[in-house]
Amino acid sequence: MFEGFSKQTITVDGVEIFCRVGGEGPPLLLLHGYPQTHVMWHKVVPELSKQFTCVCPDLRGYGASAKPPTTADHAPYSKRAMAADMIGVMKALGFDTFRVLSHDRGARVAHRMALDWPEQVERMVILDIAPTREMYAGTTDSFARTYWHWFFLIQPAPLPEDAILADPEAFVRRKCGSWGSGGEALTEVALQAYIEGFSDPATIHAACEDYRAAATIDIEHDNADGGKKVTCPIQVLWGSKGAIEAHFDCLALWRQRAENVIGGTIPCGHYIAEERPEDLLQTTMPFLSSNLTS
């Protein structure tokens, strides 16, 4: 995996962010989801790297990146803090502007990044999420049963941490195998990478903090925006067999939060880049390549 990519660790405001960098052309930042790492992109980067310089980091708290101490308000794991990491990484690599392909938690980071740094984000693809605030606001019994981990992981420490640490492999396999055809499509090599990450108590705690921040300070940041919308073009894609399709009008919710939104479904579950990489590439490449100047 990631043949020809370099490994780099970039320090941003004291936080070490691990990433793989490879390819040629304009910069494309790829942001992973939960409970994954940058490895989730392994099926699509060979093709993407023919046209883009692909930057594939582990978000803070995940994989080989640092797990900084948290605070009572969970601010170190806010999407604003995680987005600032990514801006710092791209600047360190010499990229003042770039495009984004993002999934799950990484897509929530991308959303905040496009709000806080609109001059840097040229356009972005968001995979299989609706906006965090709107998802919480639309909670139903059915949604809560499907997104059980949202409500489990935000419980005060160390309850979820201890429960996951009792059998990290079972937890990761259960989570990755329960949404759509994800468990069948994820390679064993990728699953082992995710399991290895969640065998570290620091990763488990940091990931819980990511979710605790989403339920608290991230929503505070959204509310403080005063209705500000993302201005860059957004392509939103979600699995036709997944929970987003079942519970939300995804395009309508994103059009409340962004000015220029297109999108639709791909025939799979949650893990689009691993379940249907060819479909993802066919759908996203024209959008990501649009209006390239270099």
- The closest of 152, 151, 142, 137 to 243, measured between CA atoms, is 142
Contact present, 137 and 111 (Cβ < 8 Å): no
Query: Which residues lie closer than 8 Å to 42 by C-beta, 6 or more apart?
Result: 1, 2, 187, 190
Question: Which residues sit opposite 28 in a β-bridge?
Answer: 54, 99
Ramachandran angles phi, psi of 3, nearest 5°:
-60, 130
List strand residue ranges (DSSP E) for the chain, in order.
Answer: 6-12, 15-23, 27-31, 53-57, 98-103, 121-127, 234-239, 261-266
Catalytic residues: 104, 270
Structure tokens at 195: 């399991």
Distance CA 47, CA 227 (A): 37
Q: How many other CB atoms sit within 10 Å of the CB of residue 94?
A: 8
Alpha carbon distances (Å) from 141 to 20, 147, 154, 165, 193: 40, 10, 17, 27, 33
Contact present, 247 and 146 (Cβ < 8 Å): yes
Residue 42: strand, helix, or coil: coil
Ramachandran angles phi, psi of 5, nearest 5°:
-85, 145
Q: What is the largest CA-CA distance in the chain?
A: 51
